Amino acid sequence: MPHTITHFDITEHHIHVELFVTDSRGGRHSFDGVLDTGAPRTEVSDKFLALAGLIKEPAKRILIKPGLQTQKYGKLVMRKIEICGHTIENFEVLASRFDGAWGIDALVGLDFFRLFRVTVDYGKAEIVTTPLAVI
């Protein structure tokens, strides 16, 4: 797969993308995330991880520190995750508590961007991603 084109809504405050994850039984779950070049690692909400059956339940005592919108507290290897049309196997993400007001379940961080050439074209409302191994 040389490259993919993912469309996004230019009226949104952030660049939203739909992600998919495959659970241990082969079930496919979709969730909403934003591209975040300020996040060094991809974070996935513990609420989504529990709903998808990837963890038993969210940690009880995790609080979001003042001034932050997420609180990272664990790591999880996703067997299969699909971001911008690319399936990545054994991708380590951070389990995180998200501020509910955000309405998203993931921040796609620089660990994803390091695997792809990513071009954001606001004029066309497109994200073009090409695996670096193909370039």
Whether residue 105 contacts residue 47, with contact meaning beta carbons closer than 8 Å, is answered with yes
Write the pLDDT tens digit of every residue in 29-83: 999 999 999 999 999 999 999 989 899 888 888 888 776 788 898 999 998 999 9
The average confidence (pLDDT) of the chain is 91
pTM of structure = 0.89
- Domains of the chain in sequence order: 4-131 (2.40.70.10)
